[in-house]
């Protein structure tokens, strides 16, 4: 199963749309892109494998494997990228601003359900992170005007 995360980068955070086979799953929020700097940047675009993980802090969530120069990059609930994330991705049902959203726990439950259905079919679960380059370039041009 391949999930596709299409990002739109902004100065104050990164918003995204997560899809499966072209169908909307949820929105995402992340930190802004700062050259993959630990604890202050979203992770690089690329193709990553996901695995299920449990912790006392986030309970059931997903881990993004083999992120260059990073460790313990997770998909876990959060509603504000700047105050709650350190490089991880938070699924949300509704975006409320740049790097902010609501109903993150519900969005994560939907994502976990899709993940476990795929694993029950013995499928690897892949996250393909890319960006809407046109929107990104338009934003840069606007901020430089």
Render 5-58 in DSSP notation, one character per residue. Answer: EEEEEETTEEEEEEEETTEEEEEEEEPPPSTT-TTTSPPPSEEEEEEEEEETTT
Query: Average pLDDT in the 7-20 region?
Result: 97
Tens of pLDDT, residues 70-125: 999 999 999 999 999 999 999 999 999 999 999 999 999 999 999 999 999 999 99
What is the chain's mean pLDDT, rounded?
Answer: 94
Q: What structural domains does the chain harbor?
A: 2-140 (2.40.440)
pLDDT of amino acid 132? 80
d(CA 3, CA 108): 13
Residue pair 31/14 in contact by the 8 Å Cβ criterion: yes
> Can you tell me whether residue 100 is helix, strand or coil?
strand
What is the reported pTM? Answer: 0.91
Query: DSSP state, 86?
Result: S
**What percentage of the chain has pLDDT greater than the value 70?**
91
């Amino acid at each position: 199963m391949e999930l596709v995360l299409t990002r739109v980068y902004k100065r104050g955070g990164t918003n995204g749309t997560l899809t499966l086979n072209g169908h909307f799953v949820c929105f995402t929020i992340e930190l802004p892109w700062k050259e993959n700097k630990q604890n202050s940047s979203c992770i690089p675009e690329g193709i990553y494998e996901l695995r299920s993980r449990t912790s006392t802090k986030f309970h059931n969530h997903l881990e993004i494997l083999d992120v260059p120069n990073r460790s313990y990059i997770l998909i876990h609930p959060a509603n504000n990228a700047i105050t709650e994330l350190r490089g991880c991705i938070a699924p949300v049902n509704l975006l409320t601003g740049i790097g902010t959203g609501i109903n993150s726990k519900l969005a994560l439950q939907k994502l976990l359900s899709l993940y476990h259905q795929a694993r029950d079919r013995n499928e690897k679960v892949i996250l393909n992170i890319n960006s809407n380059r046109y929107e990104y370039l338009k934003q840069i041009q606007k901020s430089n005007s």
